[in-house]
Amino acid sequence: SAVISQKPSRDICQRGTSLTIQCQVDSQVTMMFWYRQQPGQSLTLIATANQGSEATYESGFVIDKFPISRPNLTFSTLTVSNMSPEDSSIYLCSARDQLNTEAFFGQGTRLTVV
């Protein structure tokens, strides 16, 4: 299984600022994903990060708010822009190599916006 390192593990940010979350995988993977998990809720997919092309966003999420980079097959970043208290959540990075293989998760980033 892939080992995924995500940082920061937590942060407290002022509203109106931006935070970039980094995700590093210990092996090359085809697909990387970014999820949000509100307290007591399940995981909601924000976007799929494709290497060499723009990310694919799910309904309700837009690139201006959540810009994503995927410069190579082992690394991705998610930026939460112009933050408001409603963005307080856990953000999770996930990676998967091929169809019919499992996805693994980073440790998550607990974001609090004040």
Partner 1 sequence: QKEVEQNSGPLSVPEGAIASLNCTYSDRGSQSFFWYRQYSGKSPELIMSIYSNGDKEDGRFTAQLNKASQYVSLLIRDSQPSDSATYLCAVSPSGTYKYIFGTGTRLKVLA
Q: Which residues bind partner 1 (CB under 8 A)?
A: 1, 30-31, 33, 35, 41-45, 48, 92, 94, 96, 99-100, 102-108
| 28 or 30: CB nearest partner 1 | 30
Cβ neighbors of 52 (< 8 A, separation 6 or more) are 70
CB atoms within 10 A of CB 66: 19
Min. distance of Cβ 30 from partner 1 in angstroms? 7
> How far is Cα 9 from Cα 91, in angstroms, rounded to an integer?
9
Cβ neighbors of 101 (< 8 A, separation 6 or more) are none
| 7 or 96: CB nearest partner 1 | 96
| 19 or 47: CB nearest partner 1 | 47
Min. distance of Cβ 17 from partner 1 in angstroms? 25
| 76 or 94: CB nearest partner 1 | 94
Min. distance of Cβ 99 from partner 1 in angstroms? 7
Exposed / middle / buried, residue 70 (Cβ in 10 Å: 0-12, 13-18, 19+): buried
Chain Cα centroid distance, residue 21: 7
Min. distance of Cβ 75 from partner 1 in angstroms? 18
